[in-house]
Amino acid sequence: MSEQAPGQVIHGGHVPEFRWTNQDDKCDCVFQRIGDWTNPYIGRTLRVRMCCIWSDIYKQYPQFVQEIPGYWNANEGKFEEEPQEWNGEFDMPASIWHRHLAVTTGRPIDEIREQFAEVPPPKGVPRPAKMEQKVSMSEFETIGRLTMEKEALEEQVVATISVIHQIKKGELSLDRVELHDNGFSIAEPEEIGVTA
């Protein structure tokens, strides 16, 4: 098996210890972007710091590049010129925090990175638990559910009338009837020491 795939240079001939990510803060690009292609059948992965390559290309074609000092708020249809404070659910990634501080203070990112190396980024604010939306039932499901509830209530009424008749006829001792918040139950005679 060859050491390198056709047309591609292997990273120093070995697997790197560090895996690039879009938040690794290993370059000074404003937006970190890593291209990542991998295939188990050829045993190769191609990773490219696209942001760094694009940065060099942008210098060659400045007429085609706009670096705008503002965030495009699609909801409002306008640029927001002031960087927002962190309000994410998870802790702010250090790479974004460093860039936030660089923009808000007007200082180079490498200075910020060095000064705040030991300072933890802003913590996330967990979102309140979502209320589950009730799925509305179709007309037939509603009728079916109401019919079942009606039948269950009718059974309870029949059982209650039967118990009342048994008590009036002396077939059932009132001592065996146990009341609950949602109804009643009949205790077995041996549970309360009664014979009827």
**Over the chain, what is the mean pLDDT?**
82
Burial 13-43 (b: 16+ CB within 10 A, else e): eeeeeeebeeeebebbbeebebeeeeeeeee
pLDDT of residue 51: 92
Rounded distance between C-alpha atoms, residue 132 and residue 34, angstroms: 37
For the chain, the domains span 8-66, 68-127, 149-192
Strands 34-39 and 183-186: unpaired
Residue 150's SS3 state is: helix
Residues 84-122 pLDDT 10s: 889 888 899 988 989 999 999 999 999 999 998 889 889
Confidence label for 4 from pLDDT (cuts 50, 70 and 90): very low
Residues 14-64 pLDDT 10s: 777 778 888 888 888 889 999 989 888 888 888 899 999 999 999 999 999
Rounded distance between C-alpha atoms, residue 33 and residue 66, angstroms: 18
Position with higher pLDDT, 193 vs 180: 180
Residue 37's SS3 state is: strand
| DSSP character at residue 92 | P
Confidence label for 192 from pLDDT (cuts 50, 70 and 90): low
pTM: 0.53
DSSP letters for 118-149? TSPPPPP-PPPPPPPPPPPPPHHHHHHHHHHH
pLDDT of residue 196: 46
Residue 51's SS3 state is: helix
Strands 177-180 and 34-39: unpaired
Residues 115-158 pLDDT 10s: 988 898 899 888 887 766 667 778 888 888 888 888 888 888 88
